[in-house]
Amino acid sequence: MTVVRIAGRIVNGATSVGSTAIAIPSTAAVGRIFEMVKNNGASTVYLGDANVTSSNGMPLEPGDVLSFDLKEQVVLFGRTLSGTSDVRSLEGVWWY
C-alpha cells in the first residue's frame, strides 16, 4: 500500500532504544504532520505511550516500518524487552 502525504520538509533521526521507555525521536519537529519509524536493529521494539511495556505495546520487529499521522504534541515512545535497538525516524513537517 502506498500512502502519499504532502509535507514541506522531512526531518530524519536515529534513536537508540533500550529497556526503558524513550521518546522517538527525543524531540518532535515543530509542525510535524506524520512520523515514520523503522526498527533498524536486531531486537523487537514495543511502541506506545510513556508507560509502554512488552505486554501492552505494539511490536515493531527488526526491519519493520510503521507510519503514523502524529502532530508534534503527540509523543511516541519505544522500549525493548532487553538490550538496545536502533530506530530510525522520518517526520513530515508543514512548510512554515
Domain count within the chain: 1
Residues in Cβ contact with 2 at an 8 Å cutoff, skipping those fewer than 6 apart: none
**CA torsion through residues 37, 38, 41, 45, sign:** positive
Q: What pTM value is reported for the model?
A: 0.89
DSSP state of 29: P
Summarize pLDDT for 42-79 with one digit per residue, the tens: 999 999 999 999 999 999 999 999 999 999 899 999 99
Q: Which of the 8 DSSP states describes residue 40? A: -
Is 26 domain-assigned?
yes
Does any domain span residue 51?
yes
Q: What is the pLDDT of residues 10-39, one digit of tens each?
A: 999 999 999 999 999 999 999 999 999 999
The CATH number given to whatever domain includes residue 20 is 2.60.120.770
Q: Which domain holds residue 62?
A: 13-93
